[in-house]
Amino acid sequence: MRVGLLTGGGDCPGLNAVIRAVVRKGIEVHDWDLVGFRSGWQGPMTGDSRPLGLDDVEDILDRGGTILGSSRTNPYKEDGGAEAIKKTLAEESVDALVAIGGEDTLGVANRLGEDGVNVVGVPKTIDNDLDATDYTFGFDTAVHIATEAIDRLRTTAESHHRALVVEVMGRHAGWIALHSGLAGGANVILVPEREFDVEQVVEWVERRFERMYAPIIVVAEGAVPVGGAEVLHSGERDAFGHVRLGGVGQWLAEEIADRTGKESRAVVLGHTQRGGTPTAYDRVLATRFGLQAVDAVAEGDFGAMVALRGTDIVRVKLADATAKLKTVPEDRYTEAQVFFG
């Protein structure tokens, strides 16, 4: 059997651990041939591939990013894109495809499955916003990186008695903001799921200053003020229709400075949250996903995605996995508010 792999969408720590697990089990247990497609869905569209053997995955467990490269290519936005993928798979005698990615990558995988391609999905996103799985690998590492940044920023904020606004990733879901904000002891946490009142934020900030401490505000890039709109870094849209967000942290820092008269600074963590060595948790979860994806392929359970439920790895339908996003529920956010101010 010949099995292909690809990694699509934004990169994150743990992708190489999945690749390693699929290659090792595929070869050692099933004696499969493995082929990797470069740059997400662009690889099978254009026939850009490479063989994957045991030596290719020997030392990649602790490496961030992906040895296969990635992109936000959407074959259903390209003329003849899906047909080109089918042609490539046929020409390279690929019997099944393991697609590793988030909602967009797996959404394409689901459509290809409906079009007759044998595909199994593996969930990946630092935003942790896929509803069908309790956690996605990459999230734990991103939270650790953001938490460490908050810890470091707190000391300089206290030294200069200034407010610091930390902007983290999170377009539609505020899981990184919530978890890193709680772990880092932030005084305000703002998420996309709930519009924020600038006056309330200022009240929390001033309360912190009154106690002679410097406030730390963690804000997800997709957070929106009451009656306002998302702050855009660019109005351009990618192949999946997403605009590039960014700037809410700077906007909020300026509002805080204007309304309190206190010095305020913004720090945008950006892609530092995606890079570097994956945590032990993400390495283990990614490895377990990869091993179970091999089982799904071996059993012919195509159109499925592996998922974490509790401590077990289960399978769900790709159609269900990409049906909706997992967002921060109201009670989780309200629970955190006791620490605000």
Which residue among the candidates 11, 104, 127, 129 is catalytic per the annotation? 127
Report the number of secondary-structure helices (H) and strands (E) in the chain. Answer: 11, 13
pLDDT recorded at residue 273 = 86
CA distance 20 to 38: 15
Q: How far separated are the first and last CA of the chain, in Å rounded? A: 59
Q: Kindly state the tokens that stand for 242.
A: 């997403």
Q: Please, is 204 exposed, middle or buried when counting C-beta atoms within 10 Å of its C-beta (0-12, 13-18, 19+)?
A: middle
Q: What is the tens place of the pLDDT at every residue in 189-222?
A: 999 999 999 999 999 999 998 888 889 999 999 9
Q: CB–CB of 122/3 below 8 Å? A: no
127 is catalytic: yes
Q: What is the tens place of the pLDDT at every residue in 278-308?
A: 999 999 999 999 999 999 999 999 999 999 9
How many degrees, rounded to 5, is the angle at CA 130 between CA 227 and CA 61? 125
Q: Kindly state the tokens that stand for 85.
A: 């993928």
pLDDT recorded at residue 241 = 45
Q: What is the tens place of the pLDDT at every residue in 130-184?
A: 989 999 999 999 999 999 999 999 988 887 788 999 999 998 999 999 999 999 9
Give the rounded percent of residues in the chain with a pLDDT score beyond 90. 79
